[in-house]
Amino acid sequence: MGLFRNSCFKLLYKLKLGNYFLFKNRRKSQIPVLVFHKIIPEYDQIWPGIHPRLFEDIIILLKKHYKILPLSDLYLRPESELKDACFLTFDDGYKDFLDYAYPILKKHNIHSTLFVLPNDITNRGHIWTSTIIFFVKHYSYNEIDEFFRKREVVIYYSDLFDGFKLNLDITACLCEMQQMERAALIKELQEKFIADNRVVQNELLSFEELRKLDPSIVTIASHSLTHPSFRQELDEEFINYELKESKAIIEKELNTDVKAFAFPFAKYNGISYGIMKQVYRICFTKINEPINLKRIKTDKEYIYDLPRYNIHHDSAEEVFFLINGLHKKLGK
């Protein structure tokens, strides 16, 4: 099915159907921001990434149709200079960015923005969602179900035998918790791994590694401290700390101005949105829509409520059609 799907998109691209969608988007002053997570050569069924070879194919194709610009140009340049623009972003700050994405960006002299989690950026750093991924990879469904049932956590499983869906179901459930409740569960899981002589691998870039990145190629931005789902958070002190301290730590450690923020999971509420506006110049809150350049100039709120396209596809051609709206038209 994957090969057939890829062949279809390659054919549609060769027939220049994508140019029609691109032309329509430019007439509407719509441009894309792409968000990647992991760029890895190994296939991971539970948390699939983008192969470095595919990532470079995407870059090469994008360069044919867009000017890939620094994110700050969104609010610094006039609309007339952005109609053929495209922006690249990465979330979380995984070590594979330095190993695989960064060399390709340098090779093509392409700018990107890396949204990081400074509280967890150490050589032992990992995100709480990775604790769930590790649990799903290394334990049976019965062990997983027993752990959550004992703690009266109700999870609605869509498919017990599909690790990818199992991870999504558990993560979605924990996203609906407030930080204190979720952190307690994650701590118990981590203690269980230690007792079972299993250790979650390091996965986040350290500040020492971040300092190796050329600032003309990579801008560092904030993705919060601990990657909470802000939609359920009501504690203003906690929200303030997550949003303000993450900015302060990055600025101190990297001697840079942090202007941009991306809400984890693209989830937020009125409290977190209001505090974010006090701290940052630009923010991303939505998935799989284009940015409307005209709204940036006419709607002062819009710069804090921007969308990105989540990239997890198997061909550069499909990515091109995604960011030009075909999937939305097809209801995919």
Rounded distance between C-alpha atoms, residue 329 and residue 12, angstroms:
15
Residue 315 main-chain phi, psi, to 5 deg: -150, 150
CATH code for the structural domain at 2-124+202-330? 3.20.20.370
Three-state SS annotation for 123-171: CCCCCHHHHHHHHHHHCCHHHHHHHHHHCCCCCCCCCCCCHHHHHHHHH
Which pTM was predicted? 0.94
Per DSSP bridges, beta strands 30-31 and 291-292 are antiparallel
Return the pLDDT at 257.
96
Rounded to the nearest integer, the mean pLDDT of the chain is 92
Residue with tokens 């867009």: 66
Is the pLDDT at 139 greater than 60, yes or no? yes
Rounded distance between C-alpha atoms, residue 73 and residue 78, angstroms:
8
pLDDT tens digits, residue range 36-87?
999 999 888 888 899 999 999 999 999 999 999 999 999 999 999 999 999 9
Q: 159 falls in which pLDDT band (50, 70, 90)?
A: confident
Rounded distance between C-alpha atoms, residue 319 and residue 329, angstroms:
15
Delimiting residues of CATH 3.20.20.370 domain(s) in the chain: 2-124+202-330
Is the pLDDT at 136 greater than 60, yes or no? yes
Is the pLDDT at 125 greater than 80, yes or no? no
pLDDT tens digits, residue range 7-47?
998 999 999 998 999 999 999 999 999 999 999 998 888 88
pLDDT tens digits, residue range 215-238?
999 999 999 999 999 999 999 999
Picking from 267, 266, 258, 275, the residue whose alpha carbon sits closest to that of residue 307 is 266
pLDDT tens digits, residue range 112-122?
999 999 866 54
pLDDT tens digits, residue range 242-251?
999 999 999 9
Rounded distance between C-alpha atoms, residue 15 and residue 103, angstroms:
32
Enumerate the β-bridge partners of residue 90. Answer: 36, 114
